[in-house]
Amino acid sequence: MIRPRSISGLREFLPAEQITFNRCVEIVRKHFELAGAVPLSTPAFELREVLLAKEGGDSVDRQVYGVHRLADGGEDTDFALRFDLTVPMARFVAQHAGELVFPFRRYQIQPVWRGERAQAGRYREFIQCDIDVVGDQTLSLITDAEIPAIIDGIFKEMNIGPFQIRMSNRKLLEGFLSGTGIPSESISDAMRVIDKIDKVGPDEIRKELAETYTLEDRQLDQIMAYVSLRGPAEEVIEKLLSLAPADSLNETYKGGVEELTTVARAAASLGLTPETFILDLSVARGLSYYTGTVYETTLVDHPSIGSICSGGRYENLAGLYTSRKLPGVGISIGLTRLVTRLMEAGLLPVEQATTAPVLVTVLDQGKLDRYLTVAGLLRKAGIGAEVATEQRKVGQQFKYADRKGFKLALVAGEDEFAAGTWQVKTLATGEQVVVEETRLVETLKGMLAP
């Protein structure tokens, strides 16, 4: 006999957890679709040459899993599992550009795989939820405002407590830093340092900047004051021109101010308010891939969870695969980690181990056809129902109902069958009502309405 076990670092959920997880997936999908995004599903593995086109030897590459037929052996395999959803999307868009309508608004909710060393909170398989809008040659800046509006809808409906979508524009920090004395070839690096501010705190950042670059205290003060600027869009935008020293008012910076202003204004029109949506000039996103708008999202009461979704604007999606210029903007939610942490923190309810609200109990085994008939009727009417066919004793049936978390139990015996009625028991309260069979569907629908 083989000991049944799974591979460490590969998260799987028990039924009640999976139901909670799936509810989150459905919320994400709903809001992606409300914004008109179409679903995309790409195969789990791609040609290695295509998947790893970007560069060899970096940290992601080393984590990538190869795939081979066991019968063929594993050397020189051509196939590799995707490690994110952006590369497969870029490949798909480049390959099928002639068959797509642009702007291509797509979402993708699929697992990705990374050969991480197994440790807490690091998964070798996790579900990512990505939305991107990709334009052909150009893409309106207004689209950058849609992304946080979608995210706002998702986390509000998930009901996970106060959160902040923090937005900035990389051109601001880039322009600002180039006026502070940091050499232009180091600006990308400096931005990567600043991007860690929420993780390591401002003092650490200041220290690292001071050690790495030749900066006077006055300059460090300026940088730290600048990257600490966060708040409602209107307030921050007002300070953008006054706070920056004259040296920083270059074209890059001014371009950033203009873009950020446009996007923030459109975001307000779409219904975003400072309660959940702020500007934060420390948001830089480590990846040089992003060229304009950038986003991070954090839970106000749970900063230790870190950013729960992030993304931004990029100038060209698929330059590795096509000469067609495809600018885009997008965001990604790492749902496996997020939901796991939220469940651990008690921020997401994990309660039911059934997807059906109604258990049809069986009092009289000789009348099984009656119980089955009513279950069939309920299901046809869209009400989930299970028949307690396993447990002979009614007490055991109710115990089963409790363990799985059914909301209602139907009970009927000789008397009820003679009268054409059902007893409907609300399991949480024990309350019981008698309902005529002809009105059963209608009554249950009313009792189960949220």
Which residues in 202-241 contact its own copies (CB under 8 A)?
none
Task: Give alpha helix (H) positions in 159-201.
Answer: 170-178, 187-194, 197-200
Minimum distance, C-beta of residue 198 to its own copies, in the bound complex (Å) = 29
Minimum distance, C-beta of residue 88 to its own copies, in the bound complex (Å) = 9
**Token code pair at residue 236:** 């921050």
The total of other beta-carbon atoms located within 10 Å of residue 117's CB is 9
User: Is residue 45 involved in binding its own copies (CB under 8 A)?
Assistant: yes
Beta carbons of 274 and 233 less than 8 angstroms apart: yes
Minimum distance, C-beta of residue 294 to its own copies, in the bound complex (Å) = 20
The total of other beta-carbon atoms located within 10 Å of residue 414's CB is 10
**Binding residues among 309-348 for its own copies as defined by CB under 8 A:** 318, 320-323
Nearer to its own copies, 175 or 327 (CB): 327
Beta carbons of 206 and 220 less than 8 angstroms apart: yes
Q: What are phi and psi of 348, to 5 degrees?
A: -130, 125
Site pattern 118..137 for its own copies (x: CB under 8 A): ------xx---------x--
Nearer to its own copies, 109 or 193 (CB): 109
Query: Which regions of 304-412 does DSSP assign to beta strands (E)?
Result: 309-314, 328-334, 358-360, 385-387, 408-411
User: Is residue 12 involved in binding its own copies (CB under 8 A)?
Assistant: yes
The total of other beta-carbon atoms located within 10 Å of residue 7's CB is 8
The residue type at 366: G
The total of other beta-carbon atoms located within 10 Å of residue 307's CB is 19
Nearer to its own copies, 3 or 393 (CB): 3
User: Interface with its own copies by CB under 8 A: which range of 142-150, 194-202, 212-220, 297-305?
Assistant: 142-150
**Binding residues among 74-93 for its own copies as defined by CB under 8 A:** 74-75, 77, 79-81, 90-92
Minimum distance, C-beta of residue 357 to its own copies, in the bound complex (Å) = 9
Site pattern 354..393 for its own copies (x: CB under 8 A): xxx-----------xxx-xx-xxx-xx-xxxxxx-xx---
Residues that constitute the known binding site for L-histidine:
84-86, 114, 128, 132, 285, 289-290
Q: How many residues bind its own copies (CB under 8 A)?
A: 119
Q: Residue 104 belongs to what H/E stretch? A: strand 104-113
First and final C-alpha spacing in the chain? 47
57: left (phi > 0), else alpha (psi -120 to 50), else beta?
left
User: Is residue 181 involved in binding its own copies (CB under 8 A)?
Assistant: no
Residues that constitute the known binding site:
84-86, 114, 128, 132, 285, 289-290
β-bridge mates for residue 425, sequence order: 409, 432
User: Is residue 288 involved in binding its own copies (CB under 8 A)?
Assistant: no
Minimum distance, C-beta of residue 81 to its own copies, in the bound complex (Å) = 7
Minimum distance, C-beta of residue 22 to its own copies, in the bound complex (Å) = 5
**Binding residues among 24-43 for its own copies as defined by CB under 8 A:** 31-43
Minimum distance, C-beta of residue 343 to its own copies, in the bound complex (Å) = 15
Q: Report the C-alpha gap between 287 and 414 in whole angstroms.
A: 70
Site pattern 252..271 for its own copies (x: CB under 8 A): -------------xx--xxx
Nearer to its own copies, 165 or 187 (CB): 165
Q: Report the C-alpha gap between 275 and 14 in whole angstroms.
A: 35
What angle do helix axes 15-34 and 335-344 make, rounded to 10 degrees? 130
Using the rule CB under 8 A, which residue among 218, 403, 439, 445 binds its own copies? 403
Minimum distance, C-beta of residue 373 to its own copies, in the bound complex (Å) = 5
Q: Report the C-alpha gap between 390 and 313 in whole angstroms.
A: 56
**CB under 8 Å to 189, separation ≥6 — which residues?**
212
Minimum distance, C-beta of residue 229 to its own copies, in the bound complex (Å) = 25
Nearer to its own copies, 53 or 427 (CB): 53
Q: Report the C-alpha gap between 354 and 15 in whole angstroms.
A: 8
The total of other beta-carbon atoms located within 10 Å of residue 88's CB is 24
Q: Report the C-alpha gap between 34 and 248 in whole angstroms.
A: 40
The residue type at 370: R
User: Is residue 2 involved in binding its own copies (CB under 8 A)?
Assistant: yes
Nearer to its own copies, 403 or 439 (CB): 403
User: Interface with its own copies by CB under 8 A: which range of 108-116, 183-191, 214-222, 287-295?
Assistant: 108-116
